[in-house]
Structure 1
């Protein structure tokens, strides 16, 4: 009896601890019934304000696709003169890791402050030699939420950001990871397709702030001065704000951004995302958009193209409702489409690290740029159309006839959707 009592007390304590951790992290999801008649080009200040940011004019954004991104990144790192700030989720040992490590180490040897933030889970397979090259050169290498007793309550919270800031004057934001799968030009199933942005202009201060948030949280170090926050002049035509803040008791900025934008489309809403598991309120918002005449389409990898088929099966659980709402769904079987993009009405677009799922919206540290730029929106729509031509469109009648085993997998995987 004594043993049974102890087991009961331990179980009750574990349950209570779990409840405390859950309640400390929970927030109310936004109600997606935004009343707005204005076009989205007049609503960027509202989107920025809702996500605790400021829309800044005068930015120049260059779209970089697939492996070419790393050619530009490494070349720009070599031109840095004061500071290099590098944050990423996934870094695996390989040719690309060695190349990036050497580029960072060279700048450290030249006397620059090189700060590298890697997620402790996503980057656990970084090569020892890659670490040694950076650390011996003088790079300060820090792992985000390294497992320990003091990180017990946030062990599931990962930095999923892909962010580089150079001299506080230019930055890179998007989906590219440091593994050899991201090399090449998405020519086959071994080479991932992805998009990132090279950013210049006033919004770089916001991106430096995002890096500082996690760096100060892990190290306590604050950095100041012209080498990190220089005066920035206007550099281009884009109006941009960065969504990354995670306030207490409210939905994270990236969740509010993506969900509120669904309510603002008037003509076209196109989503490209590798892990598409929308919540019920987001599905309803997409259905409402279709009813008001919006062309709503989603492009994602198929289970054969994905690096995590469980995620695709979890997403399949909601396909029938989405199709019934009039949303058009396209699955790409040839390789992993990793870009995280949304475009609205050929005017506005969002691009960053955020997946369209509960983990990105509610748990991970993410960053997404919200952008008013006709030319960039057209570029991103052209990428959608290029991939959609080789994708398989899902039709409601055929989807309903999929096999029992497929349906069982979809339902079982959806039970884990907040963990995937």
Structure 2
């Protein structure tokens, strides 16, 4: 009897502790409401204000696809003279990882400040030898939320950003990971497709600030001066704001941005995303958009093209509702399409690290660039059109007749969608 009492007490204490940790860490998930008739590209001050940022003009944006991105990135790292800051979720030991490490090591040995922030979970296979070589050369390498007791309340929070800032003067952001499968040109099922952007102009300060957020949180170091935050002159004519904040008492800003632009769309919404699991309020917003005459299309990998078929099955759970709302869905079976892009009305774009799912919108640290520029939206739409030609459109009539085992997997994996 006494043993049962103490066992029950221990179970109660553990339960209370779990609930306390959950309560502290959870983000509020309000049902977002918007009533506005202004064009999306005329609302950049509002979009940036709602997402706790500032839209800055005078920027230049270059788009890099697939493995060619790393040719440019490595060239620019080797050209660094003051500082290189790299933050990524996924780094696995291999040809690409060693090439990136060698470039960082060479710069560190030349006296350049090199800071590397890796997610502890995503980069656990970066390779001890590679990490040690970087550290021995003078690179500062830090892991985000290592598996330790002090991180018990935040261990599920991952750093999913992919950012590189060089000399505080140019930056890269997007979806590319430092894994060999990102090399090549998505020419087969072993090589992935992805898109990242190279930035010049005042927006670079915002990306440097995003890197500083997690760097200071893990190391306590605050870096200052022209080596990292130099004066930045206009370099183009593109208006951008960076979205990355996760306020404790509101919805994360990445979620606010995506939901707001869905509600503002008047002509079309085209989404390219590898992990598309919209929440019920987003599905409703898509449905309302279709009723307004908006052409809503989503391009994603199929289960055969995905690196994580469980995620695609979780997304399948709501396909019928989306199709009945009038959303057009396309699945690409040939390889993983990893780009995270959204365009609205041919004038506005979002590109960055965020997936269209609960984990990215509610839990992960992400960064998305909100860009008002018709030329860039056209470039992203052209990428959509190129891949959609080889994709399979999901049709409602055939979808509702899919087998019971397929449906069972869809519903089972959806229960885990916030953890996938």
TM-score for both structures, normalised by structure 1: 0.99
- Whether 1:98 aligns to 2:91 is no
Alignment of 1:16-415 (within 5 A): 16-415=16-415
Q: Residue 30 of structure 1: CA displacement?
A: 4.1
Aligned to 1:416: 416
Q: Residue 14 of structure 1: CA displacement?
A: 1.8
Distance 1:176 1:20 in 2: 36
Q: Residue 25 of structure 1: CA displacement?
A: 2.1
Distance 1:165 1:98 in 2: 19
Distance 1:124 1:418 in 2: 21
Distance 1:283 1:72 in 2: 38
Contact in 1 for aligned 2:82/2:227 (Cα 8 Å): yes
Secondary structure at the aligned position of 1:371 is classed as strand
CA deviations 1:188-214 (Å, max 9, x no partner) are 000000000001110100000000000
Contact in 2 for aligned 1:60/1:236 (Cα 8 Å): yes
Q: How many residues align?
A: 420
CA deviations 1:358-381 (Å, max 9, x no partner) are 101111000000001111100100
Q: Residue 21 of structure 1: CA displacement?
A: 1.4
Secondary structure at the aligned position of 1:154 is classed as coil
TM-score for both structures, normalised by structure 2: 0.99
Secondary structure at the aligned position of 2:181 is classed as helix
Between 59-68 and 255-264, report the one with greater CA deviation. Answer: 255-264
- CA RMSD, 1 decimal: 0.8
CA deviations 1:135-161 (Å, max 9, x no partner) are 111000101101111111000011000
Distance 2:373 2:30 in 1: 26
CA deviations 1:296-354 (Å, max 9, x no partner) are 00000000000000000000000000000000000000000000000001100000000
Distance 1:30 1:271 in 2: 23
> Could you list the runs of 4 or more consecutive aligned residues of structure 1 that deviate by over 4 angstroms after TM superposition?
none
Distance 1:4 1:68 in 2: 63
Distance 1:3 1:221 in 2: 49
Distance 2:122 2:406 in 1: 29
Q: Residue 12 of structure 1: CA displacement?
A: 1.2
Q: Residue 241 of structure 1: CA displacement?
A: 0.1
Secondary structure at the aligned position of 2:164 is classed as strand
Distance 2:99 2:28 in 1: 43
Contact in 1 for aligned 2:301/2:333 (Cα 8 Å): yes
Distance 2:66 2:75 in 1: 16
Q: Residue 414 of structure 1: CA displacement?
A: 0.3
Contact in 2 for aligned 1:32/1:285 (Cα 8 Å): no
Contact in 2 for aligned 1:85/1:165 (Cα 8 Å): yes
Secondary structure at the aligned position of 1:289 is classed as helix
Distance 1:335 1:306 in 2: 7
Secondary structure at the aligned position of 2:28 is classed as coil
Contact in 2 for aligned 1:26/1:249 (Cα 8 Å): no
Distance 2:32 2:66 in 1: 34
Contact in 2 for aligned 1:174/1:339 (Cα 8 Å): yes
Contact in 2 for aligned 1:212/1:222 (Cα 8 Å): yes
Gaps of 5+ in 1: none
Secondary structure at the aligned position of 1:153 is classed as coil
Q: Residue 128 of structure 1: CA displacement?
A: 2.1
Secondary structure at the aligned position of 2:377 is classed as helix
